[in-house]
Structure 1
Amino acid sequence: MRDWPDSAELLTFYDHNARKMPWRVGPKERAKGVLPDPYRVWMSEIMLQQTTVAAVKDYFERFTARWPTVSDLAAAEDADVMAEWAGLGYYARARNLLKCARYVVTEHDGVFPDTVEALLTLPGVGPYTAGAVASIAFDQPATVVDGNVERVMARVFDIHTPLPAAKPELTEKAAAMTPRERPGDYAQAVMDLGATICTPRNPACGLCPWRSDCKAQAAGTAAELPKKIPKKPKPIRHGVVYIAKRVDGAYLLETRPDSGLLGGMLGWPGSGWTEGHAPKHDAPIKAEWKTLNSEAKHTFTHFHLRLTVKTALVPMDRKPSVGAFVLEDDYDSGNLPTAMRKAFDLYRGT
């Protein structure tokens, strides 16, 4: 067994087994000189943060069809971008997407910088995204470490230090493994290996191009790596939303503040979210409110949310203290963030 797997073996595997994705220039096209579009690479990496490829594909295709260049996106209305993003979650990414596009246009003449250092100056771009764009879009030998790469490195080198403490060691191994030859293809190859072969459960070690050099495979420990510190149970937060329908069919909606969860998104007025019970708050408009029997339930990364849904029918002359009435034909309930859409689905089911 060699101390280090051969990157050439993984690249050969990638040449024959690369996943087809709408933002990817495959190895055959790359070999013919077709270059990736940095805008599409950047867009995909922002969307893929803490989200699956399957969840992202349709969003990516809609975004790039509607805004095919970074200049198009920079000129877009905030509300339009937030509406297209609805349902993808982690809404700060959508706000940073716009900030970054506008920064690239104003400060870089619409051209993405090609080094990790310069990419790190862009809004919303951290070390992982900078490394991924530099590597995949510009073929720079940058280190790209996502959850798939961490898992591959932990197994190849049989590293038992639990995450997140193992991150520096895993990153060091990944950096040392990155070749000067075809670094962009290599970065995607390692991620593909983790996603399709070196999977979290039941890794298909018999199909792996690095199986003969994998220390965890030799030790019989592959299935238990990477080790992780057990997560604490997610707390439950409670809140209230008010769905007010005016007699002409318009609904009372508000745009949430830019900061915080669901920032900048359209939604139902309501309370804050706290553990134990919803904080004190006032209804957004005077009405005879009825409380639905069921709560709207949604899970975020760090907590479970339970929303009490209150509904009312209000006359035309009643003025709200927050938000504004919007006719149903003038908005798409499908563009609401998932938590708000679940509340609306409960309302419509009554």
Structure 2
Amino acid sequence: MHIIEQKQAFQQALLTWYEAEKRDLPWRRTNNPYYIWISEVMLQQTRVDTVIPYYERFIKKFPTMEDLSNAEEEEILKMWEGLGYYSRVRNLQSGVREVVESYGGTVPNNRKEISTLKGVGPYTAGAILSIAYGVPEHAVDGNVMRVLSRILLIEEDIALLRNKKIFEQAVMELISEEDPSSFNQALMELGATICTPNPRCLLCPVRDFCIAHEEGKQQQLPIKIKKQKMKHISLASFAIQNEEGNWLMQKRPSTGLLAGLWEFPMVELKELHAIEAFEQESDLQLKNVTELARFPHVFSHVTWDIHAYRAQLSDIDTHDSLQFFTKEQIKELPKSKPVLKMIDHIDW
């Protein structure tokens, strides 16, 4: 790691580039720890361009931690609708409630306390501390590991959790004590825009410090073992109308994938045809069934292959407990992306 000896020059090159080239993102216009917390949670596993409108709507709806703390779950899920990984917003609300109740509404400014909050891991903690409070703390995500694996020629598997400490230690050795906020954001920005999976080395402001580039190994790094094989599950989902033209919806369980969101009734397809499988599992009888679409919905380790149908019930009078909603009511419910895709295919 001979770069450590050239630390000051490396910092200067990186920070000068960042100041000149950084993207103008809404969460970079504030040092409010609550807003930065929201942005970091949203940015987990989600593209920047996707996050921007969600972030702006979210802080407008919940401008203070008290507002988010007091919000109903369906309200926060609706604001998160389509962003995916819904446990993120549940954990965010839980963590914010802890701050309101235990810290007087002030986000802790040290790693020990902030790391006890629900949903705040080492990366989020470091991002909030460095960006909002100017504390020289590491904030190591996938982008940062990719950058440092090349600059420092770290040939350890970044998919192994134990190796993350190597990168955290490297950041702590390299970080600017004077401007840790810009330093951490500069590393993230470099990984997002220049030191990408296919690196644009000719544009890199710290190419002269990069050992992997010097040795021609930049394309081989970072080392990451293959992900586990994706599991595929076939599902049939039915947009079912009653005689009044309203639609049958059901709420998903409070735990598991897409917890607490509303959806059209769904059944897993194994041996039976979609209609037969649905009628057998739900004890409902369908009529006027037409296919709407087929599409995948990808989670981290499983893909739903969804067969979407439109139908009516043939025995509506026997099911008084079913919940039907108008189009306007459905718009207000928090829904998952598969439901939004189905709605796009329904000729309302």
Please indicate, yes or no, whether the TM-score normalized by the shorter chain is above 0.5: yes
Q: Distance in 1 between matches of 2:273 and 2:154?
A: 43
SS of structure 1 residue aligned to 2:60 = helix
Structure 1 counterpart of 2:306, which letter? L
Q: Distance in 2 between matches of 1:126 and 1:276?
A: 43
Identity %: 36
CA contact (8 A) 1:45 1:132 kept: yes
2:188 alignment partner, one of 172, 186, 191: 191
Q: Distance in 2 between matches of 1:268 and 1:197?
A: 42
TM-score by length of 2: 0.88
Partner of 1:200: 197
CA contact (8 A) 1:285 1:318 kept: no
Q: Distance in 2 between matches of 1:276 and 1:127?
A: 46
SS of structure 1 residue aligned to 2:281 = coil
Structure 2 counterpart of 1:21, which letter? L
Structure 2 counterpart of 1:226, which letter? P
CA deviation vs aligned residue, 1:50-107 (integer Å, no higher than 9, x gap) = 1111110010011111111111112222112111211111111121122222222222
CA deviation vs aligned residue, 1:214-249 (integer Å, no higher than 9, x gap) = 101110111221122123431211223232212222
Q: Distance in 1 between matches of 2:329 and 2:78?
A: 13
Q: Please tell me whether residue 218 in structure 1 is matched to residue 206 in structure 2.
A: no
Note the 1:70-81 alignment, pairs <5 A. 70-81=65-76
Q: Are the structure 2 counterparts of residues 210 and 265 from structure 1 closer, same or farther at C-alpha, using a change threshold of 3 Å?
A: same
1:87 alignment partner, one of 82, 85, 100: 82
SS of structure 2 residue aligned to 1:12 = helix
Shift of 1:335: 4.8
Q: Distance in 1 between matches of 2:39 and 2:16?
A: 24
SS of structure 2 residue aligned to 1:19 = coil
Note the 1:306-345 alignment, pairs <5 A. 306-314=305-313, 317-319=317-319, 324-332=323-331, 335-345=334-344
Count matched residues: 338
Q: Are the structure 2 counterparts of residues 92 and 273 from structure 1 closer, same or farther at C-alpha, using a change threshold of 3 Å?
A: farther
Q: Distance in 2 between matches of 1:8 and 1:149?
A: 18
TM-score by length of 1: 0.87
Structure 2 counterpart of 1:115, which letter? N
CA contact (8 A) 1:237 1:277 kept: no
Note the 1:228-243 alignment, pairs <5 A. 228-243=224-239
Partner of 1:253: 249
For structure 2, the residue ranges without an aligned partner over 5 or more in a row are none
CA contact (8 A) 2:74 2:333 kept: no
Partner of 1:62: 57
Q: Are the structure 2 counterparts of residues 303 and 195 from structure 1 closer, same or farther at C-alpha, using a change threshold of 3 Å?
A: same
Structure 2 counterpart of 1:251, which letter? W
Q: Distance in 1 between matches of 2:111 and 2:288?
A: 54
Partner of 2:178: 181
Shift of 1:306: 1.3
Q: Distance in 2 between matches of 1:187 and 1:46?
A: 16
Q: Please tell me whether residue 102 in structure 1 is matched to residue 102 in structure 2.
A: no
Q: Please tell me whether residue 136 in structure 1 is matched to residue 140 in structure 2.
A: no
Hey, which of these two has a bigger chunk of helix by percent?
Answer: 2
SS of structure 2 residue aligned to 1:64 = helix
Q: Are the structure 2 counterparts of residues 284 and 184 from structure 1 closer, same or farther at C-alpha, using a change threshold of 3 Å?
A: farther
CA contact (8 A) 1:11 1:185 kept: yes
CA deviation vs aligned residue, 1:167-220 (integer Å, no higher than 9, x gap) = 33223212221232111111111111111221211x222332221111011101
Q: Distance in 2 between matches of 1:291 and 1:167?
A: 51
CA contact (8 A) 2:249 2:262 kept: yes
SS of structure 2 residue aligned to 1:271 = strand
Shift of 1:344: 3.4
1:12 alignment partner, one of 16, 26, 49: 16
RMSD over aligned Cα, in angstroms? Answer: 2.7
Structure 2 counterpart of 1:260, which letter? G
Structure 1 counterpart of 2:218, which letter? A
Q: Distance in 2 between matches of 1:126 and 1:40?
A: 17
SS of structure 1 residue aligned to 2:266 = coil
Shift of 1:300: 1.4
CA contact (8 A) 1:289 1:310 kept: no
Is 120-129 or 274-283 further displaced after alignment? 274-283
Q: Distance in 1 between matches of 2:123 and 2:272?
A: 36
SS of structure 1 residue aligned to 2:150 = helix
CA contact (8 A) 2:131 2:181 kept: yes
2:117 alignment partner, one of 122, 135, 139: 122
SS of structure 1 residue aligned to 2:257 = coil
CA contact (8 A) 1:266 1:337 kept: yes
Q: Are the structure 2 counterparts of residues 144 and 320 from structure 1 closer, same or farther at C-alpha, using a change threshold of 3 Å?
A: farther
Q: Distance in 2 between matches of 1:108 and 1:199?
A: 39
SS of structure 1 residue aligned to 2:26 = coil
For structure 1, the residue ranges without an aligned partner over 5 or more in a row are 26-34
